[in-house]
Amino acid sequence: MTRQIQGWQMVAPKQPMESYHRSFDTDSLPPDRVLVEVAGCGVCHTDLGFLYEDVPTRHALPLTLGHEISGRVVETGERARSWLGRAVVVPAVIPCGSCPDCRSRRGAICGQQFFPGNDDNGGFASHVVVPSQGLCPVDEASLAKSGLELASLAVVADAVTTPYQAILNSGLDRGDVAVFVGVGGVGTFGVQLATAMGAHVAAIDVDRERLDRVEDFTELTLEATLGQRAIKQALRAWVREAGYAATRWKIFETSGHPEGQSLAFSLINHGAHLGVVGYTRQRIEVRLGNLMAFDATARGTWGCLPEHYPAVVERVLSGQVIVSPFVEQYNLDQINDVFEAVRRHELRSRPILIPGPPAG
**φ, ψ of residue 158 in degrees (nearest 5):** -150, -55
For domain 2-157+304-354, the question of CATH label 3.90.180.10 is answered with: yes
Tell me the chain's radius of gyration from C-alpha atoms. 20
d(CA 156, CA 162): 9
Residues 6+ apart with CB under 8 A from 100: none
- Single-letter residue type at 109: I
pLDDT > 50? residue 45:
yes
Predicted local confidence at residue 151, as pLDDT: 98
pLDDT at 359 over 60: no
Q: Using one digit for the tens of pLDDT, what is the confidence trace for 90-130?
A: 999 999 999 999 999 999 999 999 999 999 999 999 999 99
Statement: residue 360 has pLDDT above 60? no
Which among 281, 325, 207, 274 is positioned nearest to 55, based on CA atoms? 281
- The secondary structure of 22-35 as a DSSP string is EEEEGGG--TTEEE
What is the CA angle 43-31-92, rounded to 5? Answer: 20
Spatial distance between the Cα atoms of 204 and 200, rounded to a whole number of angstroms? 14
Phi, psi of 125, deg, nearest 5: -160, 170
Residues of the chain with CATH 3.40.50.720: 161-300
Specify the amino acid at residue 288.
L
- Mean pLDDT value of segment 4-17: 97
Residues 6+ apart with CB under 8 A from 231: 204, 222, 224, 263, 267
Tens of pLDDT, residue by residue over 20-31, are 999 999 999 999
Distances from the Cα of 2 to the Cα of 6, 28, 83, 268, 360, angstroms: 13, 10, 19, 56, 7
Amino acid 107 reads G
Q: Please compute the mean of the pLDDT values over residues 239-248 and round it to a whole number.
A: 98
pLDDT of residue 168: 98
Q: Return the pLDDT at 358.
A: 44
The string of pLDDT tens digits covering residues 293-326 is 999 999 999 999 999 999 999 999 999 999 999 9
Q: Are 110 and 95 in contact (CB under 8 A)?
A: yes
- The strand pairing partners of 24, in sequence order, are 3
Does 197 have pLDDT greater than 90? yes
Overall pTM surpassing 0.85 (yes/no)? yes
356 falls in which pLDDT band (50, 70, 90)? confident
Q: Which residues neighbour 152 within 8 Å (Cβ) at sequence distance 6 or greater?
A: 40, 70, 323, 324, 327, 329, 352
Which SS3 state, helix, strand or coil, does residue 205 take?
strand
pLDDT confidence of 253, banded at 50, 70, 90?
very high
Give the pLDDT confidence score for residue 1 in this predicted structure: 84
CATH classification number, 161-300, choose in 3.40.640.10, 3.40.50.150, 3.40.50.720, 2.120.10.70: 3.40.50.720
Q: What number is the average pLDDT over the span 145-166?
A: 97
Q: What is the mean pLDDT of residues 225-253?
A: 98
Mean pLDDT of the chain: 96
What's the confidence (pLDDT) of residue 271? 98
Q: Which percentage of the chain shows pLDDT scores above 70? A: 99
Q: How far apart are CA 115 and CA 285, in angstroms?
A: 30
Q: What angle do CA 253, 277, 304 make, to 5 degrees?
A: 145
